[in-house]
Amino acid sequence: MAKRKRKIKPTNIAALVLTFAAVLLLVYFARGLVPAEIDDTVSTETTTATTTTPTTAPATEATTIPTEATTEATTEEPHELTTEEQALEILSGMSLREQVYQLFIVRPEQITGSSEKITETGSDFEEGLETYPVGGIAMFAENIIDREQTVEMISDMQSYSSLGLFITVDEEGGTVARIGNNSEMGTTKFPSMKTIGNTSDTDEAYNVGYTIGTEIMELGFNLDFAPVADVDSNPGNTVIGNRAFSTDADIAAEMVAAAVEGFNDSGILCTLKHFPGHGDTGTDSHLGYTELDKSLDELWETEFIPFSSGIEAGADLVMVGHISVPQVTGDDTPASLSATMINILRNDLGFSGLIITDSMQMEAITDRYTSAEAAVMAIEAGVDIILMPENLEEAANGIIEAVENGEISEERIAESVLRILEVKIEAGIL
């Protein structure tokens, strides 16, 4: 008997279509290819996930994301280096020898080797500065003839230096005024600081600092070795006398602070001198051994008062004298070479600026130490700048050898050089 053909019901056809469609959707889901219009019930999370997979739009994502990153990078403000970052960048490119010579401020004659006082600089100075790349030059009355000559000489010296030079002078007013006492310079001539102090008017002291600073800055100087922060407490003292503001420590302190503010407002760097105090010594450190016979408590009661006041007012440098303080240090080492005295200045008085020695050509130093010995002792003690060693090359080589044999660490040198560079950057010298 012939078989009857099986008739497929419409309902079965519909079921097959639905089944096929479901399978197709599953395949699409598995491959991430389901278009939004096929199933608008797909969740937002699912859509986001599927549209960010590499199979959906790899070319678009690869080109879009970097473009956005590039846009952000170009629209960001460039990072402005801090003073410390600038100084570190410069320091990183300096050799040990270049770093060591930054620790010295010398007379211009020490660069050229001239036995005569020089009033102009040329190729000999330029060549000398390449050999001895010092941190600064100290000018004296013999180097200063008139305004035009001074401006030109300073400008020339600066042009020869890649790191900028401290150009310094002793311009206190009164008897110690290399510029003010030269009638050709056309600057203000001030009376002694004792006369200023006797007015008890701090505005007068401020005016001294501001006027001197403004006038010498016009000539090209950027650092003044003033004001004197000593107290004239010993009538027999032959080196300070009327250079100090007062015989009273408190009055001296007020005047020193006002003078520092004046210097600061003028834009010139200034220096407190001669730490720990030269006003109560019986001898002159220019001429030999000098002692301050006081305890630490006594120094706080008198000598330290003006220095503390000047530091608080914002003095940039402190000059340490070649003054022995045996009651404090336990020996006759000059303060300029004594770690004990430098630590007191740094830690107890809280001075964070540049510490500089008094001239190393003074007999309080040269009678007892070679240039190399004195320079090494000063750096070991914590001094930043050595002023006018008797023999520059010997002093610098002494420090270099001390680093090479491990007596002084490279970090110790870098510490002072970094401090010097930061001051130069802040002052616009570098």
Closest of 225, 179, 176, 213 to residue 385, by C-alpha: 225
The residue from 230, 286, 322, 348 that is catalytic is 286
What 3-state class would DSSP assign to 252? helix
Q: How many CB atoms neighbour CB 115 within 10 A?
A: 6
Burial group, residue 229, by CB count within 10 angstroms (0-12, 13-18, 19+): buried
Most distant CA pair in the chain: distance in Å?
Answer: 152
Torsion sign across C-alpha atoms 45, 48, 52, 56:
positive
Contact at 8 Å (CB) between 398 and 376?
A: yes
CA dihedral 413, 419, 425, 427 (to 10 degrees): -130
* C-alpha span between 356 and 60 (Å, rounded): 64
User: Could you say which of 230, 316, 358, 384 is catalytic?
Assistant: 358
> Does 286 participate in catalysis according to the annotation?
yes
358 is catalytic: yes
Q: At 424, which amino acid appears?
A: K
SS3 content of the chain, % helix, strand, coil (to 5): 50, 10, 40
Task: Read off the DSSP letter of residue 199.
Answer: T
Active site residue ranges: 286, 358
